[in-house]
Amino acid sequence: MIIQSPGEIAFSIFNFPVYWYGIILAFAVFIGVVCAEILARRFSDIPENFFIDNSPLVIILGIIGARLYYCMVNFSYYIQHPLEIFDIRQGGLSIHGMIVIGIVTVYFLAKKYRVCVLKLLDVLACSVILAQSAGRWGNFFNSEAFGYPTGALWGVYIPPENRPLQYFDSELFHPAFLYESVLDLVVFFILLFILRKTHRCSGYAFFWYLILYSLVRIFVEYFRIDSVLNIAGIPVAQWVSFIIIFAAIGGLIVLKYNKST
């Protein structure tokens, strides 16, 4: 049995194609918002419907951040095709850009509603990683985010037009998107456990999210062959992940210090 994408387009409305990528992202956003609202009611004193009411702003700014980051690391291409910056229907979003803009947005929302920013980030850490797990399946339908050729039974078929030239004669590739999706789901349950144990000590779930997801990304990048940018032979996603890990460890140390004092 060959695992193969049914194609990018799910259906058309009046000759306007609706892509699976968009459907999957919409579903991922939905379960992320629902998860955040459930966790907020159970583990914190965040106002009711906070995430539902503010999700449009967070989602829009998050997508903008994810797109701008992706375009920045593909600067040489988009400087020559500037209008394609606005075309996200074919993919091209980076979670690292979303994380940065998301943190900034949550900070200002916390100030506006007088809510502890770390409590918001704890809840979002759990909901975002769950949404990431679901959202990765958009890559399957786009036949992207795959790894090196493989003979494994779970190898995914990549159409010739999506294959790198050096692997044009190969058909099955490591489903890197699937590896990340499964690992993200594992991280979700770990963060849920941390949130249950430390919800009164705000910030722990958030910083552990940064560490665990970064480790997942570093691992998955070893399989991927479509990294958008390499620095000194190392994918930029791994460089950024290492930086995030060290920053998050620093955050945990600060939390531990503040708790002891």
> How far, in Å, CA of 31 to CA of 229, rounded?
31
Q: 198 is written with which tokens?
A: 């430390």
H or E, element range at 171 = none
Percent of the chain exceeding pLDDT 70 equals 95
Between residues 246 and 63, the one the model is more confident about: 246
Between residues 203 and 189, the one the model is more confident about: 189
Confidence at residue 1, expressed as pLDDT on a 0 to 100 scale: 63
> How far, in Å, CA of 219 to CA of 241, rounded?
10
Q: 58 is written with which tokens?
A: 């967070």
The confidence band for 215, taking pLDDT boundaries of 50, 70 and 90, is very high
**113, amino acid identity:** Y
Does the pLDDT at position 261 exceed 70? no
Question: How far from chain centre, in Å, is Cα 109?
Answer: 21
Between residues 77 and 60, the one the model is more confident about: 60
Place of tokens 């930086």: 243
H helix runs in 74-203, sequence order: 75-78, 95-113, 117-135, 137-141, 176-198
Between residues 228 and 184, the one the model is more confident about: 184
